[in-house]
Amino acid sequence: MLAEELVLKQRTKILHALCSSGSAEHLERVLDILLAKGALIWEDYQNIQVPGRTLYTNARQLLDLVYTKGVDTCGLFLAALKLALPEAQAVGLSFSESCSNLQENDECQSTSNQTLLAQRPSLVHKLQGCVDGVLAALLDSGHFSSADCDEVRLPIYTPTQQARRLLDHVRSRGDLAASVLLQYIHQKQEPGLPLNQRELTPPKEFLKYQKKLSSSVSAQACFLSTYAGTSHMSLDDIYTDGQLELAEVNAHGPLGLEDIVGLVGIVNEEADTVLVSGEAGSGKSTLLQRLHLLWARGVALQDFLLLFPFSCRRLNSEHNELSVQELLFQHCCWPDRNQEEIFQFILDHPHQILFTFDGLDELKQSFTDEHRVCCPTQRAPVHVLLFNLIQGSLMKGVQKVVTSRSEAVSPLLKKHLRKEVVLKGFSPTGIDSFVRKHHRDPTVAAKVLESMQANTALLGLCHSPVLCWIVSQCHKELLGCGEGSPKTITDVYLMILQHFLQHQSPLKSTMGLGWLQEHLKTVLLLGQLAFEGITSTCYIFSGTDLEACGVTEKDICMVFLIKSKDMSSTHSKCYEFSHVTLQCFFAALFIVLSSNTNRSVIPKLFELENRETGLTRVCFTACLPSSDQQQQASEKESKAAETPNLQITAMFVSGLLSQRHQNLWLHCCPSAAVEKKARQVARCLSKGIQKHFRSIPQPVQGEKKSMHAMPDFVWLIKCLYEMQESRIAKDAMSKLEVDHLKLTYCNIGPVECTALAYVLQHLRNPVGLQLDNNSVGDVGVEQLLPCMHICNSLYLRNNNITDEGIRKLIAKVIQCDSFQKIALFNNKLTDACMQDFSYLLKTKQVFISLRLGNNNITAEGAKQLAEGLKANQTLAYLGLWGNRIGDAGTEALASSLERSNSLVWLSLVGNGVGSAGACALANLIRKSTSLQELWLTENCITRTGVECLIQALKHNTHVTSVWLRNNDLSLEDAEEMKQLESRLIF
């Protein structure tokens, strides 16, 4: 089909794909590409991007235009669309066969302004994280005024929009301004190198080496490791984008893979190491694998000539001292010739080299900066090399990407980070897309998705890619199990255990034994191996290790253990658990089933403070049979057992010892022993929580008693949830007496929300629940509903919540008597949920505070909210900072609020409010008997508007301040107005 026809036929679908998210990003990306390719001229662009017009209208305008421009433009448009849309949005669209070449022209054009246009897509990308720097340069060079800078930095813009507004402004200021911008970007990329000198011609041997390395990286990366034992699942077929966010700067939207090493979000310019953190199973290794593959194929990270991938797990087994050169060549790829020349080239071009280290948390040694090595030919233990590389004392300038679990990142390591990016698992559309990729048969996929969606606790778990994989893999069990559908993480792992035990090696059960009983020997052997590994930070097992535990070929074929991949060929046959969480699960099975472990193993597992070198080791060693003890004791290194893995193991132990699973252990071990262990766990959990409560400081007089939970608190809560025994949860919670429970920046996702709600519903008195800066999302909100009756306020700032989540939340909280406050700053709310808030305001005459800043609310939404406000007599705080309600929205709100005698604080900062809005607010001031503070900073109010406010203030003595900084007023005007009314603040 011709490109023109494709555009016409798919018009509705394209519009939906471009606009349904409510964000203009996809449309703007397409426009960037079309401008760069010359398919649109500047005037076209201006006719499409008309400020104030709806996104759909703009997109329609673009579709009309490309259609009229003919087949070539339509072809380019489709190719641009394919590139700009995320996978999930592009589903169902077909793109033209003749894939137009969208390769960006990175040659310098005859004028800087032309270069700006030809390189627009990559400039938008490169400008992120340095908009402020460019603005400062333009201010210095006199091309921009501070008002120009403010306009670019308006908080309503996303970072990419700021970059585009900057490019648009620069264009209008002429060629010199454009060259200032380009110069800045070039210097950023290549410090010390003048413009246009980035070309380099590597020696021939180097190019050969590059080819060899990339083909070996590609071979290593093209299959997903979890599937090694079962089937070969190609990464291309299964890879699904996870949610990536910056750890520090919240204002940036979701990141793409290339942003990991890009300019966005840099917190320390001098550092070379980027950390990708996330929970176990959140997809860190897979993400690195994807980056490796894209690099090897020449699709991404093309600023890097060489990429050296390392696995810390494998580096653990390197016992020789090495130099950096040996490390690179022996562990990644050996050059056939001219080693010295190649290494010299690497040393001379550090900015074009990338190292990746997967699983820093799995390294036996914790990060320190004590031992310095600065010379690349000096030999040192591998961990010392690694720490020096991370700090940059070795191979300064080489970029390094390191992955680690969040809990295992020490403050010392943070000091050396260029930026930290957090991987937060799959989004709801990611889950959908993953399951559809996993099951080629669409009817199976639909059924699996349906059963996931029917069980919200399970759906919550599926945000973690590893659990999503397990659940999807075990779809037969899932579809058949009705009532007993898995709820906890332990349930999910038990499901996979049963799945593989029964499917991979079906034993003929002649004696009618249970599935676990039939395979008990294997489970115990693997369990012991796992347990010993976890307690000695060992994740790779040699043939001898396996023999020592009695693990046989047959057990290995069970897929729980897979062959260890290695870039170097030194380790012939080694095995590892197919995921570290599976190793923890087997360790937990061993603790529960074995009669060999001693009594202190469970208390030690739940005890956090004593996890220093030696102590835990000694304790766990004592838990093993004596022959093993000798062997363990003879090991040279006795390292600190790793807390995150022990915590996961403890969580599984809680789950396995739950009453719900006690039948499973019948005939596998003595019931009395299991019951005893279960009582031990319950005692440990209760003690742990009490200890946490005792650490809460007494409140300052007059303030509320507040508890800021530590990450361990979340872990204990998750253990309580795994146990699924409300009596124990109730017991643990009954003694908590706080007014405010703060869990900000605690990595709370949907899984944690389920556990929190399960435990918090047993609190005796209502609390304020503060969950700001987590990744709760709509699914998490739904999980929280069971504890809403015990919340008087809910803070969910910056949590990826959309209208959908709000709808469910409000339907619940209107039934909760004590619910009074909600804060939803920086989420993804639009006008579509304003009706729900309106209903909340009408229905709940105890509601006090509504904060909806930095969302996507327009005049339409404000009008709906105003309907609710008319009928409310309790709201005291209304915050709408950083939306787009404009004059019309302000007029509607002001007119409704005139009747309120409860409102004391109103913020409409950064909302495009002009003088008409200000005059409406003046009326509110005139009539209100309660209003004290009015925030109107960063709007476009002129002298006329302020004069109205002054007149109104003459009739009002309650208002204490009206904030008017950054409006359309000259300094003289502001000075004059201030003289007339001292409550105005400019």
State in angstroms the smallest separation of the CB of 672 from ligand ADP: 37
Candidates 86, 262, 283, 750; binder of ligand ADP (CB under 6 A) is 283
3-class state of residue 125 by DSSP: helix
305 binds ligand ADP (CB under 6 A): no
For residues 564 to 593, the per-residue mask of contacts with ligand ADP, x marking binding by CB under 6 A and - elsewhere, is ---------------x--------------
255 binds ligand ADP (CB under 6 A): no
Which CB sits closer to ligand ADP, 284 or 797? Answer: 284
Residue 70 has phi, psi (to 5 degrees) of: 105, -175
DSSP 371-384: S----TTS-B-HHH
Candidates 280, 591, 892, 962; binder of ligand ADP (CB under 6 A) is 280
The b/e string for 310-339 (b: 16+ C-beta within 10 A; e otherwise) is bbbbbbbbbeeebbbbbbbbbbbbbbeebb
State in angstroms the smallest separation of the CB of 8 from ligand ADP: 35
Which CB sits closer to ligand ADP, 404 or 966? Answer: 404
282 binds ligand ADP (CB under 6 A): yes
Candidates 284, 424, 661, 851; binder of ligand ADP (CB under 6 A) is 284
Which CB sits closer to ligand ADP, 126 or 290? Answer: 290
Which CB sits closer to ligand ADP, 418 or 463? Answer: 463
Which CB sits closer to ligand ADP, 749 or 805? Answer: 749
Residue nearest to ligand ADP as judged by C-beta position: 283
242 binds ligand ADP (CB under 6 A): yes
State in angstroms the smallest separation of the CB of 239 from ligand ADP: 5
SS3 readout for 415-449 = CCEEEEEEECCCCHHHHHHHHHHHCCCHHHHHHHH
Helix extents (H) in 173-262 = 175-189, 204-221, 235-238
Which CB sits closer to ligand ADP, 224 or 709? Answer: 224
| Strand ranges for 448-531 from DSSP E | none
Which CB sits closer to ligand ADP, 280 or 653? Answer: 280
Residue pair 278/203 in contact by the 8 Å Cβ criterion: no
Stretch that binds ligand ADP, among 54-62, 237-245, 344-352, 713-721 (CB under 6 A): 237-245
Residue pair 299/347 in contact by the 8 Å Cβ criterion: no
Which CB sits closer to ligand ADP, 495 or 948? Answer: 495
Stretch that binds ligand ADP, among 153-161, 273-281, 839-847, 967-975 (CB under 6 A): 273-281
Edge-to-edge strand list for the sheet holding 905-907:
706-708, 740-742, 767-770, 791-795, 821-823, 849-851, 877-879, 905-907, 933-935, 961-963, 984-985
Residue pair 94/39 in contact by the 8 Å Cβ criterion: no
434 binds ligand ADP (CB under 6 A): yes
Which CB sits closer to ligand ADP, 233 or 346? Answer: 233
State in angstroms the smallest separation of the CB of 469 from ligand ADP: 4
Residue pair 878/905 in contact by the 8 Å Cβ criterion: yes
For residues 185 to 224, the per-residue mask of contacts with ligand ADP, x marking binding by CB under 6 A and - elsewhere, is ---------------------------------------x
State in angstroms the smallest separation of the CB of 259 from ligand ADP: 15
State in angstroms the smallest separation of the CB of 465 from ligand ADP: 3
243 binds ligand ADP (CB under 6 A): no
| Residue 122: other Cβ atoms inside 10 A | 14
Count how many residues are written for the chain: 986
Candidates 278, 392, 805, 914; binder of ligand ADP (CB under 6 A) is 278
SS3 readout for 702-718 = CCCCEEECCHHHHHHHH
Q: Is 268 left (phi over 0), alpha (psi -120 to 50) or beta?
A: beta
226 binds ligand ADP (CB under 6 A): yes
State in angstroms the smallest separation of the CB of 284 from ligand ADP: 4
Stretch that binds ligand ADP, among 98-106, 232-240, 757-765, 946-954 (CB under 6 A): 232-240
Stretch that binds ligand ADP, among 238-246, 846-854, 900-908, 939-947 (CB under 6 A): 238-246
466 binds ligand ADP (CB under 6 A): yes
State in angstroms the smallest separation of the CB of 121 from ligand ADP: 24
Taking the C-alpha atoms of residue 599 and residue 178, their distance in angstroms, rounded to an integer, is 72
Q: Which tokens belong to 472?
A: 């999807």
Residue pair 685/719 in contact by the 8 Å Cβ criterion: yes
State in angstroms the smallest separation of the CB of 650 from ligand ADP: 18
| Residue 375: other Cβ atoms inside 10 A | 12
Residue 589 has phi, psi (to 5 degrees) of: -60, -40
Q: Which tokens belong to 825?
A: 């700053």
State in angstroms the smallest separation of the CB of 409 from ligand ADP: 14
Which CB sits closer to ligand ADP, 282 or 724? Answer: 282
State in angstroms the smallest separation of the CB of 434 from ligand ADP: 6
436 binds ligand ADP (CB under 6 A): no
Which CB sits closer to ligand ADP, 148 or 358? Answer: 358
Which CB sits closer to ligand ADP, 8 or 228? Answer: 228
Nearest to 729 by CA among 765, 768, 685, 675: 685
| Residue 571: other Cβ atoms inside 10 A | 13
State in angstroms the smallest separation of the CB of 354 from ligand ADP: 18
Which H helix or E strand runs over 585? helix 580-593
Residue pair 738/698 in contact by the 8 Å Cβ criterion: no
428 binds ligand ADP (CB under 6 A): no
Taking the C-alpha atoms of residue 410 and residue 392, their distance in angstroms, rounded to an integer, is 17
Taking the C-alpha atoms of residue 969 and residue 541, their distance in angstroms, rounded to an integer, is 72
Applying CB under 6 A, the site for ligand ADP has a residue count of 20
Which CB sits closer to ligand ADP, 460 or 882? Answer: 460
Candidates 469, 577, 590, 721; binder of ligand ADP (CB under 6 A) is 469
State in angstroms the smallest separation of the CB of 86 from ligand ADP: 13
281 binds ligand ADP (CB under 6 A): yes
State in angstroms the smallest separation of the CB of 299 from ligand ADP: 16
Taking the C-alpha atoms of residue 896 and residue 920, their distance in angstroms, rounded to an integer, is 11
864 binds ligand ADP (CB under 6 A): no
472 binds ligand ADP (CB under 6 A): no
Which CB sits closer to ligand ADP, 233 or 261? Answer: 233
285 binds ligand ADP (CB under 6 A): yes
Residue pair 565/593 in contact by the 8 Å Cβ criterion: no
Residue pair 6/74 in contact by the 8 Å Cβ criterion: yes
Calculate the CA dihedral of residues 784, 789, 790, 791 and round it to 10 degrees: 70
DSSP 843-854: H-TT--EEE--S
238 binds ligand ADP (CB under 6 A): yes
State in angstroms the smallest separation of the CB of 502 from ligand ADP: 20
Which CB sits closer to ligand ADP, 237 or 336? Answer: 237
Stretch that binds ligand ADP, among 130-138, 234-242, 697-705, 938-946 (CB under 6 A): 234-242
Q: Which tokens belong to 157?
A: 């813009």
Q: What is the CA radius of gyration of the chain?
A: 30
Taking the C-alpha atoms of residue 870 and residue 5, their distance in angstroms, rounded to an integer, is 51
Candidates 239, 531, 575, 652; binder of ligand ADP (CB under 6 A) is 239
Q: Which residues bind ligand ADP (CB under 6 A)?
A: 224-226, 238-240, 242, 278, 280-286, 434, 465-466, 469, 579
